[in-house]
Structure 1
């Protein structure tokens, strides 16, 4: 399950009518389930999509989707993911999976329901002397219809560009929500505000509640047997496996922040990328998506850095990247960049790195019989849905 899968076929519609599943949103709703065929930990984009595809491909088998927070979880990586599909991010051999993911986004995961997906070009910018790509254009030509984007940078330092006119921007949190809703309509159960702990043969579930002093406590604990457990908890997934079952994994994680650049963008402004930094037009400004250079060591706690001695909310690695690009993109040196005073002021989340590599595609791995780890990682925007479908199809074939 680590290499590219064949082009996934469109998931067939269930042939039999289904009774809608159930949602347990809080501890006031009694939960008595003690067994299921499939149990998915994590209702982010990867977990919710895998749950949906399992309900489509194996409609006769029961499924429980478990999420520690709400839907979508506001502290998870899915809700902060950049949501940029681009052909520029497709590794060799993954073209079919990327195109299928694009079709699923435009078709709202095959349901035809509306999802806010915009066809917004991505323009990648390069310094003088770049000849790695045959389709390079002069930057002023590539951005002729987007003067607001052209005003952010210095064309003399970034004179060359290539454009992906088929790029999409979307909200991964909306994908997660829609996939979970569809899975429930096809009979899946969803258990929210529940922390999962892996145990042999299933999962121990700790249902959480908030006291009147705003403390999160365990209200009750219940063990559920599961034929197959899919861990799709993002960067926390490998830790769940190692802590619960003692199985070592080779995967890593990195902390990614998303600073805000408060300069005008419009509905036709393309997404920009240079030096690994993506500037995604969003909410009238730009969300900055820094490059990921390496995994963060175990035990690392994100903290803010300092710029000319002044404390900021951007960690040192992000600051170094932005300072290195300020000559080519002068807008980064202006007052539009939100630095914050501590890391709490700049949105960020832990991101899984499949195989510990920043450039690795999404991955599904069988760690033990009946236990699968599903990781999205940095390329989840372009390949994540195909990876989730590939695992669901594999499990459905096993019967």
Structure 2
């Protein structure tokens, strides 16, 4: 559960709008601010990247619809899968019929949300064998000596370069989208756990912290929602089944993002090998391991052992890194942050749409007026297009901006 932080966001009350302007929405940051339940046209559970982007797009498409965005934690970028998402846009792995959506998403990342640290940065994928559109790895890495020094090009002699790839901060996107949604009239409640008790009805539990740092339910409210969107990430499918009795095929997996303390700069490319992505970030690298399969119900993440020594990396991730240590020698040094327990390595539950490790973002109608919105492994590249598509459907808008985009 996310940490409740009552001071995470300032309160804002609606003011008088100037002619032609929209009144800003209300922000309830903590239980000290009284809340009077009312009906909303749309209620969104979860203010991570997908939920906040949906709210932002819906306010632009249908400003006449009242909207409430609910977040269990503090700021919408404070915790969870959004904060730890790779933030790597790449056309690699995108089906041909979704390329237009991916390109539109890239344009949105670059222009629509202000400073989210968007930066064009090539992605160089390395291979042991030759194949279509692959070039010698030494040649692809030559313009980037810092990256070349990390790779044994005799073990990974071939490369494919996505020159149009880019990086950004998903947490900053979530925060910016939520702020812009509020500015355009959406209401936002933080530190509030919500449950759908039926189609069209939501129970909100406002959370507070005791003197002994325990998170407790301070008060409970029930309100009506014409349309309900579950944007709870990996918890969304469970909420659909537990709260609404709707079974889905979706799943989740626990993904860790260890740190590799090898210097990187703004010019260092993103690297990928055998599914492992090395994302330059904060002067080093964040490692994004491949997701191989869904985790079974009830799985509790635990650290594995390396040469008998306990680490914070789960066994599957540890095995993948060990297999790459010869090809990427820094992985076999003290530069790799192993930790001693699971709590030492940042990690979060990742939604797997359709239960697939390569599942694409989607939205799904669960019952009349209730929608499930999932990001998953490809949320960086297609997530915004999927949120826009759902927002347009709720708003009754038929056109999609990528449908007539020039090729």
Q: TM-score with structure 2 length normalisation?
A: 0.91
- Give the structure 1 partner of residue 11 of structure 2: none
Quote the offset at 1:92 in angstroms.
2.9
> Take 1:270 and 1:288, find their aligned partners in 2: how far apart are those partners?
13
> Cα RMSD over matched residues?
1.3
Q: Secondary structure at the match of 1:177?
A: helix
> Take 1:312 and 1:339, find their aligned partners in 2: how far apart are those partners?
6
- Give the structure 2 partner of residue 30 of structure 1: 34
> Take 2:300 and 2:112, find their aligned partners in 1: how far apart are those partners?
36
Q: What does the per-residue CA deviation read over 1:71-116, in whole Å, with 9 as the maximum and x for residues that have no partner?
A: 134331000000000111312310011001001000034xxx3331
Quote the offset at 1:125 in angstroms.
0.4
> Take 1:115 and 1:377, find their aligned partners in 2: how far apart are those partners?
20
- Give the structure 1 partner of residue 257 of structure 2: 258
Q: Secondary structure at the match of 2:292?
A: coil
> Take 1:73 and 1:203, find their aligned partners in 2: how far apart are those partners?
23
| Alignment pair present for 1:81 and 2:82 | no
> Take 2:193 and 2:20, find their aligned partners in 1: how far apart are those partners?
33
Contact 1:108 1:115 in 2 (8 A): no
Structure 2's unaligned 5+ residue stretches are 1-18, 399-407
> Take 1:197 and 1:72, find their aligned partners in 2: how far apart are those partners?
18
Q: What does the per-residue CA deviation read over 1:339-378, in whole Å, with 9 as the maximum and x for residues that have no partner?
A: 0000100000000000100111100000100100000000
| Alignment pair present for 1:150 and 2:148 | yes
- Give the structure 2 partner of residue 377 of structure 1: 376
- Give the structure 2 partner of residue 224 of structure 1: 223
Q: What number of residue pairs does the alignment pair up?
A: 379
Contact 1:108 1:114 in 2 (8 A): no
- Give the structure 1 partner of residue 118 of structure 2: 117
Q: What does the per-residue CA deviation read over 1:20-56, in whole Å, with 9 as the maximum and x for residues that have no partner?
A: 0010000000010321000000000000000011101
Q: What does the per-residue CA deviation read over 1:194-214, in whole Å, with 9 as the maximum and x for residues that have no partner?
A: 001111121100000000000
Contact 1:72 1:79 in 2 (8 A): no
Q: Which residue, 193, 207, 211 being the options, matches 1:195?
A: 193
Quote the offset at 1:239 in angstroms.
1.1
Contact 1:46 1:232 in 2 (8 A): yes
**Deviating runs (4+, > 3 A) in structure 1?**
none
How does 1:19-98 map onto structure 2 within 5 Å? 19-98=23-102
| Alignment pair present for 1:106 and 2:110 | yes
Contact 2:233 2:350 in 1 (8 A): yes
Quote the offset at 1:181 in angstroms.
0.5
